Amino acid sequence: MVPHQYAEAQFHKRYRVDRLVYYEMYNDIRDAIAREKEIKGWRREKKNDLVRKLNPKWEDLSKKLFVDRR
């Protein structure tokens, strides 16, 4: 788990990520990867519209998603 925590910290530092505002869940990892690639190809405004549609206040969803996971 330590290498993952280190990589996560480096990601946060590099991209200045401080909250989770959008996520999708998939049963098949291939579907998730395909969707991630699709979204990565979008313009920034289209990505922001997707977030605004489902999370208009840009709330941190990690608090709800990762409750009691420790």
Q: What is the pLDDT of residues 33-66, one digit of tens each?
A: 999 999 999 999 999 999 999 999 999 998 888 8
1 confidence band (pLDDT: 50, 70, 90): very low
CB 51 within 8 A of CB 20: no
Strands of the chain (E only): list them. Answer: none
Proportion of the chain above pLDDT 70, given as a percent: 84
> Look-up: residue for tokens 């530092």?
13
In degrees, rounded to 5, the angle at the alpha carbon of residue 1 between the alpha carbons of residues 10 and 66 is 80
Q: Which residue has the higher pLDDT, 69 or 23?
A: 23
> Cβ atoms within 10 A of the Cβ of 20, count?
15
CB 61 within 8 A of CB 20: yes
